[in-house]
Amino acid sequence: MSELRQDPVTGRWVVIATERAKRPESFSQRHEKLVRTKAICPFCYGSEDMTPPEVLAFRPESGKPNTSGWKVRVVPNKFPAFTMGNKSEVSMLGMQENLGIYLRMQGLGVHEVIVNSPDHFKSLALLTEDEVGLVIDAYRSRLLDIKNNPGVEYVLIIVNHGKEAGTSIEHSHSQLFGTPIIPPLITEELNGSRSYFHEKGRCVFCDILSEELGLNERIILESENFLVFSPYAARQPFETWIIPKRHSANFESISSIEKKDFAFVLKNTLLKIYDGLNDSPYNFYLHTSPYKVDTGKFYHWHLEIFPKLSIQAGFEMGSGTMINVAFPEESAKFLRNF
């Protein structure tokens, strides 16, 4: 008998398919270890003119913009999903046009690439904690800057690691999307956590934190300021969440102590995936509050990591319900030991 589990934030059900459940070890052999073959790379030192001019770079030696010597470099995406457009386009901000029975909007917004390190061969798992700290600084700095852009309703920061996870350039990078709408999955989390707060007077994410700390069966890593765990209603094998212990809706409000600790847990969680799952491809994304919605009491920022070890097939696509062939308790136990 399989088991349906409900995510307490969004109310979505997940099927934990016990009849077809696989042992954690069986996932690590699924793919070839990523082999990086450096040809001409737009994200390496010396290729700075292959990208649009940088919008941010950390240069300890204070060199000129768009030259080498940087530690982290942020540039507009060359093939953007969202762009700010020209004046007349910007004047259309948020305007929906009718096309017969259909509605369209312009793709106004921001799409940037954060080059995580000058090292072509190192993913985030292999950088030092200080280097990962700089990437986090870049996330925070761009989030604060883009806040002033009236056309951006939400900023989603993501990493795609490995070809199967959708990367086209192997040099480790993050992407930032400033979107003209609040994405539906964020709306779902906001609605769920708002209702929970109205009903119980507490943050649902804070309650999850206490529950997981109390149960201690899905914890992967714990630090002073963060908990890393497999969620109860994990949608995929080895789905992993990193959540700050302090209630905080906005990632931008991270303190410098928390930032240092976040670099530690992020690096070490990704290292567990690197070691335990044979450098599996993965996606991660940061869920933080929209700029213009007052979510301070009920929302709680976090990061969700999905090793790419299963395929979304017809059932998942047609129903919106995921079938997970691994128990989150076993996924957590497996990663905990790396």
Q: Is the dihedral of CA 25, 27, 31, 36 positive or negative?
A: negative
Does the protein bind a copy of itself through residue 337 (CB under 8 A)?
no
CB 278, min distance to a copy of itself, A: 19
Nearest CA among 128, 126, 129, 134 for reference residue 171:
126
In whole angstroms, give the CA distance from residue 166 to residue 286.
17
Neighbours of 35 (CB within 10 A): 7
CB 312, min distance to a copy of itself, A: 7
List binders of a copy of itself among 24-63 (CB under 8 A): none
Which of 139, 229, 232, 299 binds a copy of itself (CB under 8 A)? It is 232
- Cα distances (angstroms) measured from residue 145 to each of 141, 224, 252, 264: 6, 29, 10, 25
CB 116, min distance to a copy of itself, A: 14
Judged by CB, which is closer to a copy of itself: 33, or 79? 79
List binders of a copy of itself among 179-218 (CB under 8 A): 179-181, 183-186, 188, 207-208, 211, 214-215
In whole angstroms, give the CA distance from residue 231 to residue 202.
19
CB 67, min distance to a copy of itself, A: 27
Choose the stretch contacting a copy of itself; rule: CB under 8 A; options: 6-14, 30-38, 243-251, 290-298. 6-14
Tokens of 83: 């762009």
User: Total number of residues binding a copy of itself (CB under 8 A)?
Assistant: 76
Question: Choosing from 111, 171, 173, 300, which is the catalytic residue?
Answer: 173
- Asked whether 293 and 190 are in contact (CB, 8 A), the reply is yes
What is the end-to-end Cα distance of the chain in Å, rounded?
31
Choose the stretch contacting a copy of itself; rule: CB under 8 A; options: 98-106, 122-130, 244-252, 262-270. 98-106
173 is catalytic: yes
DSSP code of residue 53? P
